Amino acid sequence: MKPVVTSLKAKMLLLSIIPLILVTAAITLITLNQARLLSEQEIQTFEENLLASKRQELQNYVDLAMNSIAHVIANAEAGDTVAEAEVKRILHSLSYGDDGYFFVYDAVGVNLVHPAQAELVGQNLFNIQDRNGSYVIQELLQLAEEGGGFSRYIWRKPSKDGLEDKLSYVVQVPRLNWMMGTGLYIDDIAKEVATTRLKVTRNIRNTFFTVVAILAATVIVIALLGLWLNVHASELADTRLREVAHRYVQFQVSQRRNFARELHDGINQLMVSVKFRIELAKDKLSSEDVKVHAELDRGSEVLNQAIQEVRRISHDLRPIQLDDLGLESALYSMAEEFAERAGVKVQVSLGLPLQRLPDDIEITLYRITQEALMNIERHAHARHVNIEIWQEEGLIWAEISDDGQGFNVLNKAGEGIGLLNMRERTELLSGQFSIRSRPGAGTCLRAGFSLI
């Protein structure tokens, strides 16, 4: 029944933990997903705000450039090479930051001003494409014709001498029909966005690990609490079971004692009395009644066998010596009878307390010793046997050892009924039972009982 109860408690514990895990996992996943979506929206907003500030900055730069050349183009006419040269000079000289410059293209895509890449000046870049396949100059010229606008493309960054993402703003130069503009490399925006995304991802991951840690701690606490309750309930059940078993053994000992005395003092005495009357009847009969004498002899013999059987049953139920002489004398008497019967040298050392032991412990010690000696006589072929009983730290210990042939204690199949009886008798009183033996090295069995 105990494994079934344990299994039921384990299932109840799982039924309390599994819903907690599932609900927590669902809430965590939903929360993390919402946090991830919200973080992406915030990152996009952050990126858009950065780009908006860059666009405003570019417009300001272009406005400043237009203001710097306004006085030249105000008086310029078509084909005025002097004015064109002055505009080129002014725009070529303007710069800001590490990579800020102004570029100028004519209507057909020929580069007129490019301070960062002088080798491009004079080249027709109308059909030039970036690595994404965009026609950069064509798109810029179209935006300028439409009144100005922004464009993103890939272009070489002077300070890195490598290709980077660039945002440019272009306008049309009045009277000269040129496209003029400037741009900002926005790789720093990508870095800031990537850094922000990394931080958000790290925060989400840390939140996830925190939730997992809290969940694990909660599960562990619940499991430990359930285990403690289970162990506590099991200990209470075991204690009550031991108490019931102890009372049962005491009741059984008391009943056996009463029944044994009834057999010995009642039925056995009546049978002895009947035997004496048969003997008296035989003495009163004449010697000529041979047949009657023979029948009386047979009846007396059968009655004597019945008397011996009653005495044996009475002794098996409760050794009279325990009640009359006590455990110490009963054990010494048993050892002497065993030594004489089996031809084995027996050494007895008894350190019993002054006060008599409880009845259930006395009868158990007596029966264990009796069973052990019987096993030694039948199987051990020993020459020396030691019987020792002593008291230590609230426990009464009994040890019976021999120098016989021994056996393999790991082989449970070789554990006979005698050993099982001794083990069961000990466990009924919540005692400790152990056997040490190996082939050719004798056997030592020990049983201990609490006196508290």
User: Per-residue pLDDT for the chain (452 aa), expressed as one digit of tens each?
Assistant: 444 445 666 666 666 677 777 777 787 778 778 777 887 787 788 778 888 888 899 999 999 999 999 988 888 776 788 888 999 999 999 988 888 899 999 999 999 999 988 899 999 999 999 999 999 999 999 999 999 999 999 998 887 878 888 999 999 998 888 999 999 888 877 787 778 778 878 887 887 788 778 877 877 877 777 777 777 777 777 667 666 666 666 666 666 655 655 555 566 666 767 777 777 777 777 666 667 767 777 777 777 777 777 666 666 666 666 767 788 888 898 899 889 988 899 999 998 887 888 878 888 888 889 889 988 888 888 999 999 999 988 889 999 999 988 888 776 555 667 788 888 888 878 888 999 988 888 899 999 988 77
Same structural domain, 119 and 208: no
The residue from 163, 185, 207 where one domain ends is 185
Same structural domain, 202 and 251: yes
* Residue 296 maps to a domain: no
Edge-first strand order for the sheet with 384-392 is 345-350, 384-392, 395-402, 443-450, 432-437
* Residue 302 maps to a domain: no
Q: How many independent structural domains does the chain possess?
A: 3
The residue from 131, 150, 185 where one domain ends is 185
Same structural domain, 234 and 363: no
Same structural domain, 163 and 198: no
* Residue 345 maps to a domain: yes
Q: Which pLDDT belongs to residue 317?
A: 60
With contact defined as beta carbons under 8 Å apart, do 406 and 399 qualify?
A: no
CATH of the domain at 349: 3.30.565.10
Q: Which pLDDT belongs to residue 7?
A: 61
CA dist 189 and 440 (Å) reads 87
* Residue 73 maps to a domain: yes
The residue from 156, 185, 214 where one domain ends is 185
Same structural domain, 6 and 132: yes
* Residue 131 maps to a domain: yes
From first CA to last CA, the distance across the chain in angstroms is 29
CA dist 65 and 178 (Å) reads 14
User: Cβ–Cβ contacts within 10 Å for residue 414, how many?
Assistant: 11
Same structural domain, 167 and 218: no
User: Cβ–Cβ contacts within 10 Å for residue 26, how many?
Assistant: 10
CATH of the domain at 64: 3.30.450.20
Phi and psi at residue 114, to the nearest 5° = -160, 85
* Residue 297 maps to a domain: no
**In one letter, which amino acid is 16?**
S
Same structural domain, 339 and 253: no
Same structural domain, 349 and 282: no
CA dist 256 and 425 (Å) reads 15
With contact defined as beta carbons under 8 Å apart, do 189 and 54 qualify?
A: yes
Same structural domain, 40 and 126: yes
* Residue 436 maps to a domain: yes
pTM of the model: 0.44
Q: Which pLDDT belongs to residue 180?
A: 95
CA dist 254 and 222 (Å) reads 47
Q: Which pLDDT belongs to residue 5?
A: 47
Domain ranges, residue 165: 2-185
User: Cβ–Cβ contacts within 10 Å for residue 374, how many?
Assistant: 13
Same structural domain, 349 and 429: yes
Same structural domain, 18 and 165: yes
* Residue 311 maps to a domain: no
Long-range contacts: 266-270, Cβ < 8 Å, 24+? Answer: 267/310, 268/307, 268/310, 268/311, 268/314
Same structural domain, 240 and 352: no
Phi and psi at residue 140, to the nearest 5° = -65, -40
